[in-house]
């Protein structure tokens, strides 16, 4: 659904989406088992969350015999971009530079990561020149 890209998943919904992006498709039981590896969560809680996500068009659901199979209806990259855009707007007043400066100033960065950042900057500069 086109409007699904405008929906900001909650933290719990994002956890479920991350599992579904990894699995491709999964039952409530499979998702609950994965969630339970990091924290205690009841099956009915997971079921209710996934039903709400289906109603919000965040996940798709198909019947496979006695089970429902769920899959993400929104892409991982588009969701990351949406959440990042909202975060940058809310936290850094829309300034990507402030975000990058904060991240680079407080995180350990490898030489490989710095090379990737330099490549991205070079691409951005090239795009501005065209």
pLDDT over 90 at 108, yes or no: no
Q: What is the pTM of this model?
A: 0.72
Structure confidence at residue 6 (pLDDT):
61
What mean pLDDT is predicted for residues 27-33? 97
Q: Residues 105, 61: one domain?
A: no
Total of domains in the chain: 2
pLDDT over 70 at 1, yes or no: no
Distances (CA, A) of 71 to 12, 39, 76, 107: 16, 22, 12, 34
Q: Where in the sequence is the domain holding 120, given as residue range(s)? A: 95-130
Task: List the CATH number of the domain containing 51.
Answer: 1.10.10.10
Q: Residues 48, 102: one domain?
A: no
- Asked if the structure places residue 77 within a domain, the reply is no
Structure confidence at residue 32 (pLDDT):
98
Structure confidence at residue 129 (pLDDT):
81
Question: At 4, is the pLDDT very low, low, confident or very high (cuts 50, 70, 90)?
Answer: very low
With pLDDT > 70 as the criterion, what percentage of the chain qualifies? 95
What mean pLDDT is predicted for residues 25-45? 96
Q: Residues 50, 100: one domain?
A: no
Q: What is the CA radius of gyration of the chain?
A: 19
Structure confidence at residue 99 (pLDDT):
87
- E strand intervals along the chain: 59-64, 67-72
């Amino acid at each position: 659904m086109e409007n699904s890209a405008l929906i900001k998943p909650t933290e719990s919904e994002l956890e479920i989406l991350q599992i579904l992006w990894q699995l491709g498709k999964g039952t409530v039981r499979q998702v609950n088992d994965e969630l339970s590896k990091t924290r205690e969560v009841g099956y009915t809680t997971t079921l209710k969350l996934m039903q709400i996500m289906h109603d919000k068009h965040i996940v798709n659901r198909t019947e496979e015999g006695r089970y429902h199979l769920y899959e993400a209806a929104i892409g991982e990259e588009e969701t990351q971009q949406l959440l990042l855009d909202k975060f940058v707007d809310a936290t850094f007043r829309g300034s990507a530079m402030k975000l990058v400066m904060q991240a680079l100033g407080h995180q350990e960065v490898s030489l490989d990561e710095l090379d990737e950042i330099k490549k991205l900057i070079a691409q951005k500069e090239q795009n501005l020149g065209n």
